[in-house]
Structure 1
Amino acid sequence: MSETSQPARRTPTVAQLLDAVRFLTILPVPNAETAPAPDWLTRAMTFFPVVGVGIGVIAASVFVLGQSLFGPTLGALLAVTTSIAITGALHEDGLADSIDAFGGGWTVERRLEIMKDSRIGTYGTLALGLGVTLRVAALALLPLWAALAALVACHAAARATPGFVTRKMSYAGHVSGMKVSYADAPMRKDELALVLIAVGLAALPLLLVSPVALIAGLGLGTMLAAGMAAWSRRLIGGYTGDVLGATEQMFEIGFLLGVAAVLAQ
C-alpha cells in the first residue's frame, strides 16, 4: 500500500510573505500552516515593502482607469481610496488614534488610553481628512507616468518605516498594560538591508523618471515620519502600533508632496 503524499510545506520566506499580506491587507491568502511564533510580525516586516509594491501597482492601475474616465483629480481620489480599501484603513486608523491621543491627552497614561479607544475625535478626523486631501492633491498634479511611478515607490518605502521605528525606539504601550510580540524582537540588520533593497527596486522607475523627484520624496517623507516618531517619543516615551501606522501615513504624505514639488505640471 503506497503512502499518501504530503503537500509540500511552505518555506519560511513564503510563510513570512503571506503573513505580511495577511497583516497589511484584506486580500484573501491561505491560512498559516502552524501557530504563529512570538516574533512572526517582526519577521514579516521584511516583506512589508514587497506588499507595498503590490498595493502601489493596484492603486496605479486604478489611477490609469480613473484618469481616463474622469480626469486626474477623480483618478487620484479613486487611487487613494483603493489603497485605503485594500489595507482596511490600517494605517489611517493609526494616524487618527495617534493624533487624537497627542492632541487630547495630558498625561502618558491618558494618551495611551485614548489610543485604545475605538472612537475618533476632532483631531483624528481632521488628520484623516487632511491626509487624504494632501495625497489626492499631490497625485492629481503629477503627469500620469510620474504618478504611477510615485505610487509604487511611495507604498513600498512607506511600509519600511515600522521596521526602523521599532529598532530605534522603545515600545511605550506597556505603561497601560498593552503587550505586543514585536516589541521584544526588533528587526535584524540583515532584514533591514533586505527592506532597503526592496525599496530601492520599487523606486527604480521613479529614479529613471526623475532622480531629483525621488530624492525630494524620500527626503520629505523621511522628515515627516521622523517628526511623528520624535513627537511620539516626547509625549509617550516611545512607539505603539498606532504610532507605526501614523509614521507610515506621514511618509506617504511627505513622499507624494516632495515628488509633486518637483514634477507638478
Structure 2
Amino acid sequence: MPPEKKPISHEWQAFWLAIGFLTRIPMLVRIDYSQKLMNQCSMYFPLVGLLLGALYAGLFALLNLAWSPLICVLLVLCFHLFITGAFHEDGLADSVDALGGGYTVEKRLEIMKDSRIGTYGTVALVMALGLKAALLVDTQSIWLALLVTPAISRLAPLLLMILLPYVTDPDKSKSKPVAEGFSRKRLLVSCLFTALVALIFSLWLPGLWLAALTAIITIVLLWGGYLQRQLGGYTGDALGASVVFCELVLLLGI
C-alpha cells in the first residue's frame, strides 16, 4: 500500500473499531487490531453516536406512521438496547450497585466487576429508562432529540478519560484499550465535531447548543468529581454511566 494511504486506512479501521466497540453492528472491514488503534478509535465515539441517532430517528419516523409517540419511543428504546447490547446501561447498573453498596474503594471495585445486578442497579435502570422515555415524549421534536442526543452524550466519557486516572484492574477490564493513551489532539477533534452537531441542529431545536454545553459540563464536574472522591478515578462502567447521565441532563435541557 502506498505510504500516503496508510493514515486514511488507519482512521477507517479506527472508525469501524469504534462501531464494533459501542454496538452490535458487524464490522465490515478487516481490522489490524492493536491497543494503539483501540486508543485512537475513541475519537469516533460521537460520530458513532450520531449514526445511532440517525437509526433511532428514522425508526421513530417509520413507527410514528402507525402508533402513538409513547409507543414509538418505547420501541425505539428497545431497539437501542438491542443494537448497543445495553452497553452503557450495564455500566450504569454496575456503577450504582458499586457506589451504593461498597464502603471502601476495593469493595466498590469488586462489586462493579460482579455480573449480577442488585437493588441499586435495578432501580437506577428502571428510573433512567423511564425518565428517558418521558423526556423524549415531552420534547417538541422527538426525532431530532433521538438524532442528536447519542452523539453529544458520548463526548462526556472522553473528557473523563482525560481528566481522571484509570483505577480498575487493567488486565481484566474491557475498557483498558480506550482508557490508556487517549490523545488530547483527538479529543479536540471530538469536541469540535460535537460542537458542530449542536450548533447545526440548533437551527431546528433552539437552545440545543446551550443544553449540550450544560449537560456535558454538569456530568463531567458532578459525576467526575463524585468518582474522584469515591474511587479515586474512573472505570469502564463509570464511563458508560456518564453517557446515560449526560443523555438525561441533555433531554431535560431541550
Which residue type is aligned with residue 182 of structure 1?
Answer: V
Are positions 1:166 and 2:161 aligned together?
A: yes
Which residue of 2 is the match for residue 141 of structure 1?
138
Which residue of 1 is the match for residue 92 of structure 2?
95
Are positions 1:70 and 2:67 aligned together?
A: yes
**8 Å Cα contact 1:149/1:203 also seen in 2:** no
Structure 2 residue ranges without an equivalent (≥5): none
**8 Å Cα contact 2:199/2:208 also seen in 1:** no
Question: If the length of structure 2 is used for normalisation, what is the TM-score?
Answer: 0.90
Deviation of the 1:42 alpha carbon? 2.0
Q: How many residues align?
A: 247
Which residue of 2 is the match for residue 126 of structure 1?
123
1:144-223 paired onto structure 2 within 5 Å = 146-174=141-169, 178=172, 180-186=176-182, 188-223=183-218
Deviation of the 1:205 alpha carbon? 4.6
Which residue of 1 is the match for residue 34 of structure 2?
37
Root-mean-square deviation (CA, aligned residues, Å) is 2.0
Which residue type is aligned with residue 85 of structure 1?
Answer: F
- Secondary structure of 2:207 counterpart: helix
Are positions 1:14 and 2:12 aligned together?
A: yes
**8 Å Cα contact 2:149/2:251 also seen in 1:** yes
Which residue type is aligned with residue 227 of structure 1?
Answer: L
Counterpart CA distance in 1 for 2:253 and 2:110 is 34
Counterpart CA distance in 1 for 2:208 and 2:72 is 21
Are the structure 2 counterparts of residues 61 and 206 from structure 1 closer, same or farther at C-alpha, using a change threshold of 3 Å?
same
- Secondary structure of 1:209 counterpart: coil
Q: 2:77 aligns with which of 77, 80, 86?
A: 80
Structure 1 consecutive aligned stretches of length 4 or more whose deviation exceeds 6 Å = none
Structure 1 residue ranges without an equivalent (≥5): 1-7, 260-265
Higher mean C-alpha deviation, range 111-120 or range 188-197: 188-197
Larger Rg: 1
Question: If the length of structure 1 is used for normalisation, what is the TM-score?
Answer: 0.86
Deviation of the 1:178 alpha carbon? 4.3
**8 Å Cα contact 1:59/1:83 also seen in 2:** yes
